[in-house]
Chains A and B, each alone.
Chain A
Amino acid sequence: MKAKEIKIINLADKELMDLSKKGLLSLNLEEMKTIQTFFKNLERNPTDLEIETIAQTWSEHCFHKTFKSKILYKEIYNEDFSTEEIPSLFSLIKKSTEKISKKWCLSVFKDNAGIIEFDKNTAIAFKVETHNHPSALEPYGGAATGIGGVIRDILGVGLGAKPILNTDVFCFGPLDISFENLPADIFHPKRLFRGVVSGVRDYGNRMGIPTGNGAIIFDEGYIYNILVYCGTLGIMPKKYINKKVSVGDLIILIGGKTGKDGIHGATFSSANLEKNIPNSVVQIGDPITEKKMLDALLIARDKELISSITDCGAGGLSSAVGELAQDCGAKIFLEKVPLKYYGLEPWEIWLSESQERMVLSANKKNFLKLKKIFDNENVGYSCIGEFTNSGKLEIFHNKDIVGDIDLKFLFSGIPGTSLRANFTYIHQPDIFPENINFQEVLIQLLSHHNIASKEAVIRQYDHEVQSHTILKPLAGIDECGPLDAIVLRPMYDSNKGIVVSCGINPYYGEIDPYMMAGCCIEESLRNLVSVGGNVEKTAFLDNFCWGNINNENILGTLVRCVKGCHDFAIKYDIPFISGKDSLNNYYTVEKDTISIPGTLLISAVSIIEDVKKIVSSDFKEPDSFIYMLGITKDEMAGSHLYKVLNMKAGNVPQPNPEITLPLMKKIRYAINKGIIKACHDCSEGGFAVALSEMIIGGGYGANVDIEKLPKQTDKKISLLFSESQGRFIVEIDKDNSDAFKKIFSGAPFYCIGNTTPDFRLNIFFDKEKIIDIDGEKIKQVWTGALKW
């Protein structure tokens, strides 16, 4: 089959846009005109393969246009406003990492994942991706290939890292929504939930990688567009963190065969969802093919036979080969690509997003050795071309030239854009609900799907394969209590460990995305500090999922959120090492567009010296002291209490790094000294929910007085349910009380009660008993709410 000529040189503006829309190119008029001018100068039309290559390379999904654009940003408060020109969102995030400048950050924002130092000879790579659009159309396949894709990012970072952990965070519509309230062409959240979890389960388990940290949020805002975040963490010898292609190196395609699945995935993912999108845009996953590839690649890496590697993700071969050839050039022979079946057009071979494929480069003299390894591991491979110094991608199919693309134009020819964005402050008055039955509200919160135990999901993931998992996702009595973070001991001969946690809360973002950024950053840190993580050796990943950013007001919320990430990263002194954005998560029904709530996920990874010193959140013994660390305030906006009560009022929580960061360092010190027996942070649902969770895991009761909490409020409702940041509940042996007070002198803390042999939660306000619930009841409500 030959390439077709696409006649664009003489098209008028409207015809150019028709071509972009009809061909699923997702290019705007300015971009189409830039392409037109480029080919006019060459005095020829492009081939179908060429225009498709440019479209996918320039797609939002691959090029991250919005994050690279100049933005004129305006903040409006009351009658007043301020404006600012931001060079780009991407540069803003990078700037914070540069300013923080940690020498243990080995590779940031350039490869397929961020890399930090683990020990003298070893490094850790971490990446989180999203697979939102495909999972909405085909939940099982979309989620499975989401996890498959991010695993390949780790296999393709530097010269390859070994995946040792998967993480998963999902956002769905409410599971109990009735079909009548659902548009006809949208899957029910329950179907999406089951499909996505099953997809991640079947792929991750078959890969032999433990899935161990995550979160699930259920909210009306995700009925039309779900979010599927998949992460993978890998470990590698430090000497393999860099890749380098040399002219003359062979281009080797390894893994699965190429078919028509996933064509236009990149361009489709850059646009919004609407009716009648062909489901051929979703790829089909086969984990065993990927597992064989993993086994083979790690052997090849350790024998030092490869010079560079990257995965075939969005855009397929075109982006994988394009990226590697960026600084030199390449010749590719498409007839050498192994196909699933006959009948693919050259551009389809080049663009297909068939899964489980990677491209590597190797010196010619290593080919026979590689062949032997691949044959031994029963892995498919083919040498499809070689790197040149032509500065071009020269693509052939059975001797016909089907593409001749200038790499400089491909990667730098995209017209620079300048965007406008506005953010308006929302002030919500402080209103407190009256006549609240605290006990009933607590039960409602514990059974809310966002807060309730995720055991139904967690148990379906293998969280122990590889035998590195030291703190599992569930622990305590009967392994039914929650844990704040997962802890791995990644080397078989050392007790050095890795702590992984996350923070996500779209509700704060509805009011102020800046504070949402701060709160997500802090939540991820609180989670890892609670088990004994080290804030002084922690790195972040950012993942922004946003709605229709063509709307200046929605783009404004994104800008405000990125500013928050920049500022709070600096204040907590934690570098971002990698990240990803997924924009245009909106759905079009007739003329309306429905956007998701702007959702930021912060994933955190921390290195600790000794996994034997960590603690879990469950109460360990009766008659221990319970201390509260951190100050409670009237910060109810975006809280789960107000969500349950269907209220919108008050102030969104504000992180206080000046107080919290020193507190976190003290907690780590006290945990390492063995003084803290259990530690849990207060997040969704506030103090009352956090305390309940410690009881569930411990099998002991608690007797506390909330009048004694360190506080800036006297309202019982705030003391129980406010989501003020920087707060931890800890259990201390009575004998250690003095040592504890000495360590925490200067920090806000108070002894608020003790654990009890009686499995019961008793909360007083001074002398008045305001909550009195049987522990079994709390446990049953919390563990039984989310069913499969």
Chain B
Amino acid sequence: MVKVLILRTSGTNCDFETEWAFNICGAKAERVHLLSIINGKKNINNYDILVIPGGFSYGDDLGAGKVFANEIKLKIWESIEIFKKSKKPIIGICNGFQVLVKAGIIPFWGKNSASLTWNNSGRYEDRWVYLKIESSLSPFFKNLPEIIRLPVAHAEGKFVVKDKITLNKIGKNKQIILKYVKPSGEISGYPYNPNGSQENIAGVCDESGLIIGLMPHPERALLSIHLPDWTRQKREKVFGYGYIILKNMVEYVS
């Protein structure tokens, strides 16, 4: 059975539903506190998928995900490196995406080439967005329509890169996995792009495609009744788009 590690710390708050989501997708998920990894009680490399879930790690003091990112860089970097070298998937959702980017894990290993910063609106916002599946290196976005819907809920989700060269590079490398769009698929501004991300980027992957980070929450779109307009639709479907993404990850490993 695919073993999933949900890495949590003080202020993580999407760990229970992320655990549930991976279990529904056929994996065996386990919530583990960062301290247990640091003090050697648990080993990341005994698991097949590493998840950094959403929340407000350490209250997002010093910037969203920054403290957690430093903990990873300074205390468990070697284990993460082994995990990456074993070609096992890593996913960072919302706060987890912020952690991966600020730790220099994505988009480029060991480099701080991008960041997630304050929304253009200057405040936290919870809304459902339309997302276009980009053709990318990541193998986890198959069996989905071109446009999907997931919710975002964050204050610091605006994806920015260091310079034009980096932006071109992640584009050319096919490291952009999701873009915020209108229902028709066109690129557009607020509220369709909820935070003002460069190039409407909602998620990126590393150069292998196996480490992904995204602001939207697949675990909040697991069932069809999670969709905000499900009471307007025919009531037959059981699963939402989030289920397909996470299921793709689990199936990739197994």
Contacts and interface: CB of A to CB of B under 8 A. Distances in A.
Contacts of A464: 126, 151, 153, 217, 220, 226
What secondary structure prevails in chain B residues at the interface with A?
A: mixed
Given A208-B14, A467-B17, A489-B225, A201 B232 contact: no
Contact of B35 (A378, A462, A470): A378
Contacts of B35: 376, 378
A205 interface: yes
A460 B123 contact: yes
A205 B124 contact: yes
Contacts of A201: 123-124
A205 B219 CA distance: 17
B20 interface: yes
Contact of A465 (B11, B13, B59, B60): B13
A475 B231 contact: yes
Contact of A475 (B12, B17, B229): B229
A670 B225 CA distance: 20
Nearest to B221: A467
A54 interface: no
A466 B12 CA distance: 12
Given A288-B11, A291-B13, A467 B220 contact: yes
A612 B13 contact: no
Contact of A474 (B59, B124, B217, B228): B228
A159 B74 CA distance: 38
Interface residues on A, range: 35 or more
B13 A208 contact: yes
B37 to A, nearest CB: 12
B16 interface: yes
A288 B235 contact: no
A127 interface: no
A463 B128 contact: no
A378 B20 CA distance: 24
Contact of A479 (B59, B125, B128, B226): B128
Given A475-B229, A620-B232, A206 B59 contact: yes
B36 interface: yes
Given A206-B59, A479-B127, A616-B231, A466 B225 contact: no
B101 interface: no
Nearest to B10: A292
Given A291-B10, A292-B10, A614-B231, A459 B222 contact: no
B118 interface: no
Contacts of B17: 465-467, 492
Contact of A376 (B33, B59, B126, B153): B33
B124 A460 contact: yes
B55 interface: yes
A288 B127 contact: no
Contacts of A208: 12-14, 55-56
A377 B8 CA distance: 10
B58 interface: yes
Contact of B56 (A288, A460, A479): A288
A189 interface: no
A389 B125 CA distance: 53
A260 interface: no
Most B CB contacts (10 A, CB to CB) among A205, A377, A477, A620 go to A205
B151 to A, nearest CB: 6
A666 B196 CA distance: 48
A461 B16 contact: no
A287 interface: yes
A207 interface: yes
A471 interface: yes
A459 B125 contact: yes
B10 A465 contact: no
Interface string A460-490: 1111111101111011110100000000010
A618 interface: yes
Interface in B114-159: 123-128, 151, 153
A611 B217 CA distance: 22
Interface in B210-234: 217, 219-220, 222, 225-226, 228-229, 231-232
Most B CB contacts (10 A, CB to CB) among A286, A376, A466, A467 go to A467
Contact of B226 (A377, A378, A470, A475): A470
A314 interface: no
Contacts of A286: 59
A98 B228 CA distance: 40
Q: Which 6 A-B pairs have the closest CB atoms?
A: A208-B13, A467-B17, A288-B59, A616-B231, A206-B56, A492-B20
Given A207-B13, A462-B126, 20 more contacts: A208-B55, A287-B56, A292-B10, A377-B33, A462-B153, A464-B126, A464-B217, A464-B226, A465-B14, A465-B17, A465-B153, A466-B14, A466-B17, A467-B17, A472-B228, A475-B229, A479-B128, A616-B231, A618-B231, A620-B231
23 contacts: A206-B11, A206-B56, A208-B13, A208-B55, A288-B58, A376-B35, A459-B126, A460-B125, A462-B124, A464-B217, A465-B54, A466-B16, A467-B21, A467-B219, A469-B226, A470-B226, A471-B231, A479-B128, A479-B228, A492-B17, A492-B20, A612-B235, A614-B231
Interface of B: 10-14, 16-17, 20-21, 33, 35-36, 54-56, 58-60, 123-128, 151, 153, 217, 219-220, 222, 225-226, 228-229, 231-232, 235
Interface of A: 201-202, 205-208, 286-288, 291-292, 376-378, 459-467, 469-472, 474-477, 479, 489, 492, 611-612, 614-616, 618, 620, 788
